[in-house]
Amino acid sequence: MNEPDLTPLETGKFDGVDPEADLDALERREYRARTNLMVVIPTLDRHGKATGEYAVITESASPYMVTFRVDRDVSCTCPDWQNRAPAGGCKHIRRVIYEGKETPLPAEDESAADYFETLDERMTAIGNRTIEYETRAADLRRVMATVLENLPDSADIE
């Protein structure tokens, strides 16, 4: 199996870019790895130590196993990796790399306690932001309803 280049791509590359244009295949996978809703969960042995395998759960609830072990090549159970093994890794491998940069993932034989505490904090923050966004959206709908109610009859809005 070929060894992917595990170098994270520069974040600025994706600012304001159309993901369907201007990006090569690796950059598109990196873009999807960063923007698709995915959760990375390290698997643990019976002692609570990381095994070097990470469950990557996608927004469609599809779980894929990504392996980063000292004694093995990097791999993923997704069809893209199994059938093509693209240079630089599939989007799930890229997500584990990105996630490890954002919140250090426990390496093989390390405790995962700190990671799960940080993950819980991040999930709480996301939940709080969701509530905030829903409140803002409701406020915006009320404002728009008021604006539409007060438009002159001559206004032609479709």
Tokens (6 digits) for 152? 């002159």
Q: Are 4 and 13 in contact (CB under 8 A)?
A: no
pLDDT in the model for residue 18:
60
- Report residue 1's pLDDT band, with 50, 70 and 90 as the boundaries: very low
Q: How would you class 66 by CB atoms within 10 Å of its CB: exposed for 0-12, middle for 13-18, buried for 19 or more?
A: buried
- 40 compared with 1, residue with greater pLDDT: 40
What pLDDT digit, counting tens, does each position of 105-152 carry?
888 888 888 888 877 887 788 788 888 888 888 888 988 888 888 877
pLDDT in the model for residue 16:
55
pLDDT in the model for residue 78:
94
Which range is most confident: 2-6, 34-38, 43-47, 79-83? 79-83
pLDDT in the model for residue 2:
45
